Amino acid sequence: ATFVAQRAAAPPGRGPGHGHPQSAAHKPKLGRGTKATSASEPWQPYGAADVPLAEVLRYFLWWYKKTRQEKKYPFIDLLSAVPLQQIYGCPLGGIGGGTITRGWRGEFCRWQLNPGIYHYETVIADQFTVCLRRKGLTVYQQVLSVERPRTLQDWNWGYCGHYAFYHALYPRAWTVYELPGQNVVLTCRQVSPVIPHDYQDSSLPVGVFIWEVENGNDEDVEVSIMFSLQNGTGTKEDKRGGHWNEPFAFEKEGTRVAGVVLHHCTPVNPFSLAISAREKAGTRVSHFTAFNPTGSGKEVWQDLLQDGQLDSPAGESAPTEKGEVVAAAVCASCAVPARGHGTLELALAWDMPRVHFGSKEKLHLRRYTRYFSSEGDAAPALSHYALTRYEEWEKKIEEWQKPILENSQLPPWYKSALFNELYFLTDGGTIWVELPPDCCAEDVQGPAGAGLSQLLPVLREYGRFAYLEGQEYRMYNTYDVHFYASFALIMLWPKLQISLQYDIAVTVVNEDVQLRQYLMGGETAQVKLKNVVPHDIGEPGDEPWQRVNAYLVHDTANWKDLNLKFVLQVYRDYYLTQDSLYLQDMWPVCQAVMESELKFDKDNDGLIENGGFADQTYDAWVVTGASAYCGGLWLAAVCMMCKMAEVLGDRETMQKYSAILQKGKESFERLLWNGKYYNYDSSGNVTSRSIMSDQCAGQWFLGACDLDQGQFEVFPKSHVASALRTVFEKNVLGFAGGTMGAVNGMMPTGAADTSSVQSKEVWVGVVYALAATMIQEGLVEEGFHTAEGCYRTVWEKLGMAFQTPEAYCEKKVYRSLAYMRPLSIWSMQLALERRAARAPAPPAQAGAPRP
Ligand SMILES: C[C@H](CCC(=O)O)[C@H]1CC[C@H]2[C@@H]3CC[C@@H]4C[C@H](O[C@@H]5O[C@H](CO)[C@@H](O)[C@H](O)[C@H]5O)CC[C@]4(C)[C@H]3CC[C@]12C
C-alpha cells in the first residue's frame, strides 16, 4: 500500500504534456474500492418498497402492462433498480455514438450501444495482457486484471491491485502498473474524443489506449500488449450465432493500422467492434482472429507466450453457431532499450451507424456517418482515424483543461468534479443523429409548422442531440432537469444546446391529442397540449422526437416551471452566444409559452400560483399558492421577456411584461419574504416556512446573464444574500454536520422537512446550482463548502464515481444513478469565470510585465 501511495505522488502521464495534476483526478487503487456499505448502513436505491402500497398500486398495474403484456422497457423501472456497483471509471467514446464504460479496475463493464439502453455486465474476455521478454525469452506474462474468473483459466490472472493506481480526468484516464519484480512501469492512458466546440471528432465512437512503457533495467526488454475482446457486450445476443471476425489492415497517408473487426450480426441495430494498433518502425502488430472466450484460452495464451506475438492467420473466421461465443485479440510489441521508454498505441472502435429506437418506426443515422461510411464497414477507418488523431485531441483537451487545472485557487476536488461529471454528456444514453437529407420542413416541424427560420439549417448542420434524464430514468431531454444541466452544453457545445432548443420549440407548437391516465392522482388527460413545453422528447423504447412526453407520472401541461425554463434558457443562450437569429426565432415561442403560463396567475397579482400538487421539477413535493421556486422562476422569466423585447425592439411586449414585473415583484416580496428568506409557499400550511435550498433558482439564471442589478434587479440584493446565508446555515451546515451538501427542504427549527420524499433529499445538481448562485452573490467560500459536500459524498463516501445520482438522503437511500442534473456544476465555472473577468487586475510588481 505504501508503494502505491508513493506512486500516487508522481504524475501518472510520463510523456511530455500528458501528465495532469493527479490531485484533480478521481483515483482509487485497483483492488481496493471505496465502500458505500458498512454493517450498520447499507445504502439502497429508492424503489417501490419506499412508496406506500396504496400509492404504488397504479404504478404497479402500469408496469405490469408495459413489461409483461407489451414486453417493453418501462421509462422508469421502480421494481428493479440498477444495483449499486462501486466499480465505474471513465467511459469510452465521443458524443452520441454509444458508450462503453471501463471500471477503475480496467474492466469493460457498462455498455450503451443501443441508444439509451444500458447493459451492466463485465465481459471477462475484454482485457489487456502484458508480455515481457528478455534475451528472446518470455519472462513475465500477466493479464492486467485483479480478477480470477472461471473462464480463460489458462491465463495468468489476479494482478495484485496494490501495484496499480487509477486516475480519471474525463475524457481521459490513466492506469499506472508497476509490474512486480520487473522494474518496468506501464502507464495506460485512455483517451476519448470529447472536445469542446468540436462537432466532428467529438461524435466518434472510439477510444484510444496509449501504453507508455518505462524500462528501469540495465538491459533491453521486449514488451507486448495484447488487447482481447469478445464479439458482443455480454448479453445473450452474443450467443445467438452468425457473428464472425476478420483481420484488417488500413493504410492511409503513410500510416498503417492493423487489427480485427468483430461483426456482431443482430437483427436490430447490428454493429461491429474493432480492436487495432498502430504499426510504426519498431512496432509490430499481430492478431488472433477467433477464440472461444468461454474455454480455457490456452491457444491464445500459448501463442503469445511463445514469442510475444500472435499467430496472425489470414482470412475471416467462420460464423458462430447458436450458443457459441467468439472473441479476438490484437497485440502490439516493441523493444524498449535499457533505462529507456517505449510507446504502444491501441484502439477500440465500434460502429453502429444506423439505429432504430424501440418502436422501429424510423431509421436514424448517427452523426459520425457524416464523416464515415454508414454501411456498417467504418470500423477500420474509424480505428485509423483515432490512432492518427488522438495526439491532436489531447492537445485540444489540454488547452481546454489547463487553465482550470493550473488555477491554484481552485480546490482539487472541484477540478475533478467539474471534468469528471461531464461523463454524462456522452454516457447519458446520448444519441446524436443526422437529419435525413431528404427530410422536409413538414417532417421536422410537425403539422402545426413552427415557422422557425433557422430550424432546418441548424438541424442540418449540427444534427439532433438527446440525452437521458438518467440511465435509470429513460426519458430524453427531460426539460425541467436539462434546465440545470444545460450550462455544460451551452458552455462547451453551444450548437447542440441551440439544436436541442429548436427541437423543443417545434414540440411547443404541436400537440398530441391522445388521452392517457396519469400515475399520480389517476386523472386522464391529453398527452401534449399546444403552447406548452413538454416534459421530455420521448423515450428510447419508443420513437423520441416523434412522440414526446414519455413521463406519465403527472400531466405536465399543468406544471409551472417548464415554460419558464424555456424562456430562461433562450435568453441565457442568446446572452452567451449573441446568436440573434436564434433569439428572433425563439421570440414567438417564448411569447406563446408565457401567454399560456399567464393563466396560472389566477388572482392577477403579477405572480403565478402553484396548483396544490407537485407541479414542477420536485414532482413529489406539493406546492400551493405563490412559491419561492416557481414564483422566482416566473419573475426571472418575466424580466428576461422585458430584456428580449428591448433587444428586439418590441415595445408593446416590453410594456406588457414590465407592468407584470412591477406587480409581480411586489406580490412576491409581500407573500413570501419573511425577513430572512423566501417561504416555500404562501399556503400557510405547516411546511410553508420550509427553507428550500433552490429558492433562488430565478436569481441563479438572472445572475448568469448579468441581469441582476440596476434597472434589472428583480430580487433585492440584500434579500438574496440573506436567503442564501440562511440556506447555508440551515440546509448545509445544519444538515449531516455540513458535510453532505444542502438538503432540499429544512424547517426553520433546524429539522429536515420530511413532508415529502423529495424535501428530505439532497439533489446533487441543485446543490451545484446553489453553489453557483452563492459564488455569483460573492459567497464564494460558502459555495465551495456546499458543493464539496456533494462531491465527497458521491465520489468518495458512496463510491458512485461516474454514476452520480439525482438524490440521496442523509442516511441509507439514494435515487436514480447516473443522472443529468449534476452537469449544472458548469454553472459554478461560469460564475467563477465572470468573477475573474470582473476582478480588478492585481497591482503590477516593479519590473513585471502588466497583464
Ligand atoms: C405513482 C406514485 C403516486 C401514486 C398516487 O399518488 O396515486 C408516485 C409517488 C412518488 C413517485 C416517485 C417520486 C420519485 C421519482 C420521481 C421521478 O420523476 C423524475 O424525477 C425528477 C425528480 O427527481 C423530476 O424532476 C423529473 O422531471 C421526473 O422525470 C419519477 C419516478 C419517481 C420514482 C416517482 C414514481 C411515481 C411515484 C412512486
Instruction: Please tell me the distance between residue 686's alpha carbon and the centre of ligand 1 in angstroms.
Output: 23
Q: What is the pLDDT of residue 26?
A: 57
Instruction: Please tell me the distance between residue 176's alpha carbon and the centre of ligand 1 in angstroms.
Output: 43
Q: Is 375 in the pocket of ligand 1 (CB under 6 A)?
A: no
Q: What is the pLDDT of residue 690?
A: 98
Separation between Cα atoms, residue 292 and residue 280, nearest integer Å: 30
Instruction: Please tell me the distance between residue 553's alpha carbon and the centre of ligand 1 in angstroms.
Output: 6
Separation between Cα atoms, residue 842 and residue 701, nearest integer Å: 29
What cell numbers appear for 185 in the block? 512501469
Q: Is 536 in the pocket of ligand 1 (CB under 6 A)?
A: no
Separation between Cα atoms, residue 475 and residue 425, nearest integer Å: 14
Residue 142 CA: distances (Å) to CA of 147, 301, 308, 498: 12, 10, 12, 49
Q: Give me the residues paired with residue 474 across strands.
A: none
- In this structure, the number of other CB atoms found within 10 A of the CB of residue 459 comes to 22
Q: Are the C-beta atoms of residues 806 and 470 closer than 8 Å to each other? A: yes
Measuring from atom 8 of ligand 1, which residue has the nearest CA?
A: 520
Q: What is the pLDDT of residue 521?
A: 86
Q: Give me the residues paired with residue 271 across strands.
A: 264
Instruction: Please tell me the distance between residue 400's alpha carbon and the centre of ligand 1 in angstroms.
Output: 38
Instruction: Please tell me the distance between residue 643's alpha carbon and the centre of ligand 1 in angstroms.
Output: 35
Among candidate residues 207, 331, 315, 329, the one with its CA nearest the CA of residue 279: 331
Q: Is 757 in the pocket of ligand 1 (CB under 6 A)?
A: yes
Whose cell is 447555508? That residue is 728
Q: Is 617 in the pocket of ligand 1 (CB under 6 A)?
A: yes
Residue 405 CA: distances (Å) to CA of 21, 47, 104: 7, 39, 22
Separation between Cα atoms, residue 65 and residue 48, nearest integer Å: 16
Mutation pick for ligand 1 pocket among 56, 551, 553, 762 (CB with most ligand atoms within 8 Å): 553
Whose cell is 420536485? That residue is 618
Strand, helix or coil at 530? coil
Q: What is the pLDDT of residue 353?
A: 98
Q: Is 478 in the pocket of ligand 1 (CB under 6 A)?
A: yes
Instruction: Please tell me the distance between residue 520's alpha carbon and the centre of ligand 1 in angstroms.
Output: 8
Q: Give me the residues paired with residue 450 across strands.
A: none
Task: Give tens-digit pLDDT for 167-220.
Answer: 999 999 999 999 999 999 999 999 999 999 999 999 999 999 999 999 999 999
Name every residue whose Cβ is closer than 8 Å to that of residue 194 and which is 6 or more positions away in sequence.
94, 95, 170, 171, 202, 397, 422, 425, 426
Q: Is 551 in the pocket of ligand 1 (CB under 6 A)?
A: yes
Atom of ligand 1 nearest to the CA of 551: 29
Q: Are the C-beta atoms of residues 497 and 486 closer than 8 Å to each other? A: yes
Radius of gyration from C-alpha coordinates of the chain:
27
Mutation pick for ligand 1 pocket among 619, 621, 744, 809 (CB with most ligand atoms within 8 Å): 619
Atom of ligand 1 nearest to the CA of 519: 1
Instruction: Please tell me the distance between residue 468's alpha carbon and the centre of ligand 1 in angstroms.
Output: 16
Separation between Cα atoms, residue 627 and residue 688, nearest integer Å: 9
Q: Is 519 in the pocket of ligand 1 (CB under 6 A)?
A: yes
Separation between Cα atoms, residue 15 and residue 189, nearest integer Å: 10
Q: Is 473 in the pocket of ligand 1 (CB under 6 A)?
A: yes
DSSP conformational letter for 242? -
Q: Is 79 in the pocket of ligand 1 (CB under 6 A)?
A: no
Instruction: Please tell me the distance between residue 685's alpha carbon and the centre of ligand 1 in angstroms.
Output: 22
Q: Is 621 in the pocket of ligand 1 (CB under 6 A)?
A: no
CA 661 to chain centre: 36
Between 825-838 and 479-492, two packed helices, what is the crossing angle to 10 degrees? 50
Give me the amino acid identity at 224.
S
Measuring from atom 14 of ligand 1, which residue has the nearest CA?
A: 620
Q: Are the C-beta atoms of residues 805 and 82 closer than 8 Å to each other? A: no
- Parallel/antiparallel/unpaired status of strands 813-815 and 807-808: antiparallel
Backbone angles phi, psi at 230, to 5 degrees: -80, 145
Give me the amino acid identity at 470.
G
Separation between Cα atoms, residue 332 and residue 336, nearest integer Å: 13
* Class of residue 42 by CB neighbours under 10 A (exposed 0-12, middle 13-18, buried 19+): exposed
Q: Is 76 in the pocket of ligand 1 (CB under 6 A)?
A: yes
Q: Is 806 in the pocket of ligand 1 (CB under 6 A)?
A: yes
Q: Is 549 in the pocket of ligand 1 (CB under 6 A)?
A: no
* Class of residue 658 by CB neighbours under 10 A (exposed 0-12, middle 13-18, buried 19+): middle
Separation between Cα atoms, residue 15 and residue 650, nearest integer Å: 57
Separation between Cα atoms, residue 145 and residue 128, nearest integer Å: 8
Instruction: Please tell me the distance between residue 50's alpha carbon and the centre of ligand 1 in angstroms.
Output: 12
Instruction: Please tell me the distance between residue 62's alpha carbon and the centre of ligand 1 in angstroms.
Output: 14
Instruction: Please tell me the distance between residue 619's alpha carbon and the centre of ligand 1 in angstroms.
Output: 6
Q: Is 788 in the pocket of ligand 1 (CB under 6 A)?
A: no
Instruction: Please tell me the distance between residue 567's alpha carbon and the centre of ligand 1 in angstroms.
Output: 25
ipTM reported for the complex, 2 dp: 0.98
Atom of ligand 1 nearest to the CA of 816: 23
Strand, helix or coil at 189? strand
Measured between its terminal Cα atoms, the distance across the chain in Å is 45
Residue 461 CA: distances (Å) to CA of 370, 535, 636: 10, 26, 32
Atom of ligand 1 nearest to the CA of 469: 29
Enumerate residue ranges in the chain where pLDDT < 50: 1-23, 31-39, 846-851
Instruction: Please tell me the distance between residue 722's alpha carbon and the centre of ligand 1 in angstroms.
Output: 32
Q: Is 733 in the pocket of ligand 1 (CB under 6 A)?
A: no
What cell numbers appear for 572 in the block? 441565457
Residue 113 CA: distances (Å) to CA of 273, 275, 421, 496: 11, 16, 21, 21
pTM of the model: 0.95
Separation between Cα atoms, residue 597 and residue 564, nearest integer Å: 8
Q: Are the C-beta atoms of residues 422 and 194 closer than 8 Å to each other? A: yes
Q: Is 552 in the pocket of ligand 1 (CB under 6 A)?
A: no
Measuring from atom 10 of ligand 1, which residue has the nearest CA?
A: 620
Q: Is 539 in the pocket of ligand 1 (CB under 6 A)?
A: no
Measuring from atom 11 of ligand 1, which residue has the nearest CA?
A: 620
Instruction: Please tell me the distance between residue 415's alpha carbon and the centre of ligand 1 in angstroms.
Output: 32
Among candidate residues 188, 192, 227, the one with its CA nearest the CA of residue 206: 192
Among candidate residues 372, 126, 109, 368, the one with its CA nearest the CA of residue 262: 126
Whose cell is 462531491? That residue is 791
Q: Are the C-beta atoms of residues 595 and 503 closer than 8 Å to each other? A: no
Name every residue whose Cβ is closer than 8 Å to that of residue 480 and which is 6 or more positions away in sequence.
535, 559, 561, 562, 565, 616, 617
* Class of residue 371 by CB neighbours under 10 A (exposed 0-12, middle 13-18, buried 19+): middle
Q: Is 59 in the pocket of ligand 1 (CB under 6 A)?
A: yes
